[in-house]
A and B are shown apart, each in its own frame.
Chain A
Amino acid sequence: MSEDERELESWLRRMRWALASLSDIERDDIVAETRAHLSERIAQGTPTRAALDAFGSAEAYALHFVDERELSGAAGSQRPAAMLGAIVRRAHRSVVAAIAFFIVIGLGTVAFAAVLTAIVKILDPIHAGLWLGKTQFFLGVIANPGVSRELLGNWIYPFAALGVAISWLAGRAVLVWAVTRLARTG
């Protein structure tokens, strides 16, 4: 085996390792297609090193397939956990993923605060609620209820349920939008 052939085989072997999360059939198919492409380029007269450099590192190239697979799987299943996982893993390198991540976190925080306030309201109805004062408007527990007006009373319970439902639906819609867009545009 020549030095060029060894270099080619080593690159393909590293690519195969980096595709470990895919099935054996997919992995074999991708490696075979990449080998065919590289062999044809080399047969056209491109030096082996230049043909490999054009693909970048084996690990980075394999990551494109893993990324595509994860995104299309998440978009196809539309399972919130799969979509959220795909978004979280891309939030540091994609504006779309970062926007979706912060929207979902914001919606989750509102829903969590509404549910928590509703639970505290059962135990401490005087201090928990949606408060409007001269300088404040917030959902939660207040130390001195005399300085603000509570707006919801027992409506806090349906309000919390509605908040959870809206946050769930809106969060899911944002995740579907984001993974679909990422799958299409990267």
Chain B
Amino acid sequence: MLKGLAELALLSLLDEGPRYGLEILESLRRDAGLALAEGTIYPLLHRLEKAKLTRAEWRLEDEGAHPRKYYALTRLGRAELVQQLADWRRINASLDAFLERRRT
């Protein structure tokens, strides 16, 4: 389940603009509250790139800096994000209604 949530949060993050792995990991931990292990994000990024939901490019921003692989959402990735958001909202609404059933 965490993997599915990580994928949705990752697609949503990349919808704001290109990001690199470490930046993505720290944002998902800090902003999305996902308890992701250090190496969790890269196999997921690799799969999304293979599925053409993201495209990646290596950048060397400053001289002497570490090269970073930046990921950006493709059109296919945006369509997947819309679909996954709709699924998440539907599941969330159903679960919410179920959990609140005794309070009404």
Contact = CB atoms under 8 A, between A and B. Distances in A.
B17 interface: no
Interface in A147-181: none
B7 A72 contact: no
Contact of A30 (B4, B22, B42, B68): B42
- Which of A30, A33, A185 has most B Cβ within 10 Å? A33
A185 B43 contact: no
B47 interface: yes
A33 B21 CA distance: 8
A24 to B, nearest CB: 15
Contact of A36 (B40, B47, B51, B69): B69
Nearest to A54: B38
A184 interface: yes
A68 B43 contact: yes
A33 B22 CA distance: 10
B66 interface: yes
B39 A56 contact: yes
B4 A185 contact: yes
Interface string B45-89: 011001100000010000000111100000000000000000000
B3 A184 contact: yes
Interface of A: 26, 29-30, 32-34, 36-37, 39-41, 43, 51, 54-56, 61, 64-65, 67-69, 72, 76, 183-186
Interface of B: 1, 3-4, 7, 21-22, 37-40, 42-44, 46-47, 50-51, 58, 66-69
22 contacts: A29-B69, A32-B69, A33-B21, A33-B42, A34-B42, A36-B68, A40-B66, A54-B37, A55-B38, A55-B39, A56-B37, A64-B40, A64-B42, A64-B43, A65-B46, A69-B46, A72-B50, A184-B3, A184-B4, A184-B7, A185-B1, A186-B3
